[in-house]
Structure 1
Amino acid sequence: MILAKFRKSYCVGLSAILICLIITGCGGTKTTVQEKAVPVKAVKVIQQDVTRASEYAGQVQGKNEVKIQARVSGNIVEKMVSGGDIVKKGQPLFRIDSIQYESTLLSAQAQLVQAEANWENSRIDTERYQNLLNAAAIPEQRLTTQKATERQNEAIVASYHALVKKAQDDVNSTLVVSPVDGRIDVNDVGVGTYVQAGSTTLVTLGALDPVFVQFSMSENEYLSLRQVSQNNLASSGWGEDVMITLSNGEVYPLKGKVTQADRSLANNSGTLTLKASFANPDEILIPGMFARVKIAGVPIKDALLVPQRAVQQVLDKSLVMIVNAENQAEPRPVILGEKVGSYYLVKQGLTVNDTVVVEGLTKVKEGVAIDVTIVTPEELELSVNS
C-alpha cells in the first residue's frame, strides 16, 4: 500500500516537472514566435481632375425616316420593290391604277380648250366694241359690259388651267417614288391592295447612313451639364465624342455627336430627349436597335481615386486595406462613387495621403505586419480612361 502511494506521487510530480519544462524551457525564459511580414503591393490614393462619363439607354433611329402614303386613292397595280430593299431618291416604288385620273385629265383639258376659245372670242368682241365706241356707234356701257365678260372668261380659263394641273398631278401621283435614299421595311402593301389617299401607309422608309441614337437624361443631369456649357447643349462643345455599346457588349467603332436636344422636358417623365448622330457606312446600326450611350459629363475637380482591384465588398459595405503608420494592414470602410476607367471615385473614407493594398489582399488580415512594395498606376496598367 505504501509502495503504491509512493508511485502515484512520483508520477504526478514527474508530470508537473515536464509541463513546467515545456512552458519555461531549459533556460527558464519565455519564448515568442515572430510572424513573418506578408508581402503586398500598394499604391497611393490618386487626386486629380476627372471627367465623369455618364451612360444612358438609347435606341437607334433612321434619319429622315418617313411613312410613305399615297396622294391618290386606288388599287395597287404594280410593285417595283421588295421589303428590305435599299432605294434611291426618286426611285419608283408602287403604281396605282391611273385610268380614272387619266380620264379626269382629258376632261379638264377639253374644258380648258373650250374656255380658251370663249376667252379669245370675248377678247375679239372687246376690240370690236372699242372701235364702235370710238365711232360713237354704241354707248360706253356696252363696252364696259363686254370688258367684264372678257375678264370673266379669262378667270374661267385660269380655273380650268388649275383643274388640268390638278388632274395631271393626280396622274403623276399614281406612280409612288422614294422621297429619300434609304431602306424600306418589310411591311409593305401588296398588289391589289386598295389604298386611301393620305391615310394608307404603303411602306416606311429611312436613311441608314447616318443614323440617330435617341436617349434621355434626367432633369438633375441636365442642370449639371449646364455648368459645363451655358449654351444650347446640342450646339456647344459638349457631346462631341459620344460612344455607344451594342447589346452584344461590343463598342461601336465610330464616335457620334449630339446634334439635337428637345426644347422641353417630357411631361410624363421629367426627362430631356437628345439625339446623337452616327456615321453608319457599313450599316451595322439598324433602326430599333438598343444601345448604351456613353458621354462625357461634368468635370470633377481634385477627385480622389482608388483602384477597383483594391476594393472588397463585404455584405453591403465597401472596404479597402490601407497601410498604417506601423506598416500593418488596416481595413477602412469607404463610400464610393462611379467607376472612372480602372478606378472608383471615393466620396468618403480616404485622403490623398493614404496608401491602399492592391495585390496580396487574400493573405492579409487586420493588424498583420506587411512588407509593402509601392507601385505606380502605370506598372499596374491602371487608367482613368474608360
Structure 2
Amino acid sequence: MNHPTEQDVTPHHSIPSSSGRRGWVRRAMPWLLALLLVGAALWWWKTNEGSPAESDTAQASGRADRAPGGGGRRFANAVQPVSAQAVRRQDIRISVNAIGSISALNTAIVHAQVSGVLQRLNFQEGQQVRAGQWLAQIDPRVFQAALSQAEGGLARDKAQLDNARIDLERYRGLLAKDAIPKQQLDTQEALVRQLEGTVKADQGAVDSARVQLSYTRVTAPIAGRIGLKQVDLGNVVQPGDANGIVSITQTQPISLIFAVPAVHVPTITARLRSGAPIPVEAWERGGQRQLAVGRVATVDNAIDPSTDTIKVKAVFPNRDEALFPNQAVSVTLQLDVLTDVIAVPQAAVLRGAQGFYVYVVNDDNTVSTRVVTPGAVDEGWMAVEGPLKPDEKVVIDGTDRLREGAKVELIAADPKQRAGASAPAGGSRRQRRGPDDPASTTSQPAAAASAAGGERRASGSPPASGTSTGERPRWMDRLSPEQADKVKAMSPDERRAWFRPQREGRDNPPSP
C-alpha cells in the first residue's frame, strides 16, 4: 500500500518563503523613499514660507559677488544703515597692562620690650597713628623700684667719692710739709680713682633702669595705619610673643609691585635715569573704576628667566586710603605718549585679505576702503597711519554688510538715540527733502528695505532685488511712514525680532 509523501500533503497555498518577502520589500522601498522625500519637501516649504515681503524679494534676488573689501556682499547696492564717527587728531598713550599687588611701604609689629601686665591700650583699631605715639602701658612699678634702687647706690658712691677727694687734697698739703709719707698720698689717689669708677657704674645702672622703665610705655615705631589688637588688657606680655601687641602698616604712601615683559626694560630705565616721571594707574580687577595714580619708583635688579619679566615698584600717595596692603589690582603703565596723531575708533579698524582697513563715508553717502597701519590703542581709540584726514567719517557699526562703493545711511550708534530721531508723521523723508540733497538717497523705503535685508540675512533668505537697486519693494506699500522710520531705527536684533512673526502670519506685518 502506497503512503502519501510529504509533498502530497503540502497544500499549494503555503506561506511564502523568506526570499519572497525580501523581494516584496525591495519593490516597495522606492515608493517609501519617494513618500518620505515628498513629506520632507512639504515640511521644508511650510516652515520656510516667509512673509509677502520676503517672498517678493526672494523671487528677484541673486547672490552678489564678494568684493575684496571683506564682509557679506548680499546687499550689493542696497542702502545700508550704518553708524560712523569722525577721524581726529589726539594724543595716544603707549601703555602696558599687568596685574599687581599692593604692599605697605613699611610694616612693623609692635612687641613689648619688657615683661609685665598690660594695663592700658591707647589706640583705636584701624586708626592712623604718628611715629612715637603712645599705644599701650605695661605695669611700671617693678621697674620704678629698680630705678630708685640704682639711684640710691649712685648717691652713696658719689658721697664716698667726694669725701675721698677732700682727703686727697689734705694729704697733698701734708706731704708738702713732710708730715706724711708719700705712700699714703698714693693710696688716697688710688681710692679716689676707684670711687670714680664705682660712680660711673652706678650711673650706668641708673640709666639702664630708666630705659627699662620707659619700655613700659609702648609707642609707635613708625607712622601708619594700626591693625587689630593681638592681646587684651590684663594679660602678661613678653618680648618673645610672636604676634606682639599690634601691627602697623605705612599706607601713606603705599607701594605697588607688578611685573612687565623684559622688552620694556630699556624704555623704563632710560626714563628713570632722565628723571622723567612714569605714570602708573591702579584699577579694580574688573577695570571699571580707577583707584589711584602714582609713579614708578624703581625696577628690580634682575629679570626672572622663567617668565622673562622684571618686577617694577610704583609708589602712590594714597591720601584717600583707596589702596590696602595685599590688594590685587589691574595696572596700566604709561611708557610714552604719541602726540597729535591720526586716531580712529578701534571698532572701525577691520582686517581682510588686503590687511587692516577702514570704511570711509564719502560726501555722496557711499563708502570706500582705506588701508591703514594700526598702532597703539588708548581708551577705545587707535593710532593709525594711512590716507585719512581729520573729520572724515569712518564706519564703526554695520561694516559686515558693506562693500566698496556701497550706499549707506548714517544712523546714531546708540539705539535710544535712533528711536528719538524718528521723523514726524505726515509724509516720507523723500517727499520732504529736495532732489539735490545727498541724503535723499537714504529714504524711508531704503532704510526699511535695509532692515528687512538684515533680517533675511540672519535667517538665511536672499535679499530682495528691489533693494539691490535702491527701488521700493512691493511689500513696503503695506508699511506706514511711521513704521518705516521705526524699522530703520531698530538694531539688527530688534529687526530680526520684528520680522520673525511674519513667518507665522503673512496677512499683516506686526506693528513695531
Q: TM-score range by the shorter chain?
A: 0.5 to 0.7
| SS of residue matched to 1:150 | helix
Aligned counterpart for 2:97 among listed residues 29, 33, 55: 55
Aligned CA RMSD, in angstroms, stands at 4.1
> Residues 2-17 of structure 1: matches in 2 within 5 Å?
none
Q: Kindly state the Cα deviation for residue 173 of structure 1 after the two structures are TM-superposed.
A: 0.9
Q: Kindly state the Cα deviation for residue 305 of structure 1 after the two structures are TM-superposed.
A: 5.1
Corresponding position: 1:78 with 2:114: no
Q: Kindly state the Cα deviation for residue 176 of structure 1 after the two structures are TM-superposed.
A: 0.8
Residue matched to 2:405: 369
> Residues 259-270 of structure 1: matches in 2 within 5 Å?
260-261=297-298, 264-265=301-302
| Structure 1 gaps, min length 5 | 1-32, 375-386
When residues 264 and 125 of structure 1 are mapped into structure 2, their CA distance, relative to the original with a 3 A threshold, is farther
1:362 alignment partner AA: D
Residue matched to 1:202: 245
CA separation in 2, counterparts of 1:179 and 1:34?
Answer: 77
Residue matched to 1:174: 216
Contact 2:348/2:359 (<8 A) preserved: no
| SS of residue matched to 2:293 | coil
1:154 alignment partner AA: E
Q: Deviations over 1:110-135 (max 9, x none)?
A: 22122212222221222122112222
Aligned counterpart for 2:310 among listed residues 255, 271, 289: 271
| SS of residue matched to 1:353 | coil
Corresponding position: 1:189 with 2:231: yes
CA separation in 2, counterparts of 1:213 and 1:110?
Answer: 55
Q: Deviations over 1:204-259 (max 9, x none)?
A: 1134444333444444322222344533xxxx2222x433213464544763344x
Q: Kindly state the Cα deviation for residue 180 of structure 1 after the two structures are TM-superposed.
A: 4.4
When residues 125 and 216 of structure 1 are mapped into structure 2, their CA distance, relative to the original with a 3 A threshold, is farther
Q: Deviations over 1:288-336 (max 9, x none)?
A: 333223232034589775521124589xxx9645569xx776697x986
Residue matched to 1:297: 335
CA separation in 1, counterparts of 2:241 and 2:264?
Answer: 40
Contact 2:280/2:294 (<8 A) preserved: yes
Query: Relative to structure 2, which stretch is displaced further, 300-309 or 79-88?
Result: 300-309
- Which is higher, the Rg of structure 1 or of structure 2? 2
| % identity of equivalent residues | 26
CA separation in 2, counterparts of 1:211 and 1:307?
Answer: 36
Residue matched to 1:212: 255
> Residues 304-319 of structure 1: matches in 2 within 5 Å?
306-311=344-349
Task: Give me the TM-score of the superposition, normalised by structure 1.
Answer: 0.67
Aligned counterpart for 1:158 among listed residues 197, 200, 204: 200
Query: Relative to structure 2, which stretch is displaced further, 202-211 or 164-173?
Result: 202-211
Q: Deviations over 1:139-197 (max 9, x none)?
A: 44443443233122112211211111111111121121234444321142223444332
Aligned counterpart for 1:340 among listed residues 378, 384, 392: 378
Structure in which a larger fraction of residues adopt helix:
2
Task: Give me the TM-score of the superposition, normalised by structure 2.
Answer: 0.53
Residue matched to 1:19: none
Matched length: 325
Q: Deviations over 1:266-305 (max 9, x none)?
A: 768762331312241x433333333223232034589775
| SS of residue matched to 1:72 | coil
| Structure 2 gaps, min length 5 | 1-74, 411-512
Contact 1:58/1:215 (<8 A) preserved: yes
2:293 alignment partner AA: K
Aligned counterpart for 1:360 among listed residues 398, 409, 434: 398
When residues 370 and 139 of structure 1 are mapped into structure 2, their CA distance, relative to the original with a 3 A threshold, is farther
